[in-house]
Amino acid sequence: MLSEHPSSHLIVARPVETNPSEMAGLLDRLIDRMRPRGSYASTHMKAKDMEVIMCAFEHEREALRMAGTMNAKPISRYVGWSTQVAFDLDSTLANAIGKALDREGGR
């Protein structure tokens, strides 16, 4: 993402008491539902001592929209990103996202 869009914006989800692979799928569904403008990508990976889900957006507005929904906080752990924030993805938040996606799917 950075090679194609060098001023991209990063959101890092830290799965807590949840399955990282399942949470990656949940966030992919959420991002697809958001229909962000511009390019975006996500990946599930191990970063140092923890598994994380990294979501990158070409446009800051789209990143801010997701970050605000997740109550993400600024970080400065990763080099090269224009902005970067992180949030803990616990079972309460995961259930809320799942319910919202199910509700939206029923429209």
Write out the DSSP string of 55-77: EEESSHHHHHHHHHHHT-EE---
Residue 2: what pLDDT? 52
Q: Mean pLDDT for each 10-residue chunk of the chain (107 residues)? A: 72 92 93 92 85 93 93 91 95 93 71
**pTM of the predicted model as reported, rounded to 2 decimal places:** 0.87
Residue 106: what pLDDT? 47
Residue 5: what pLDDT? 62
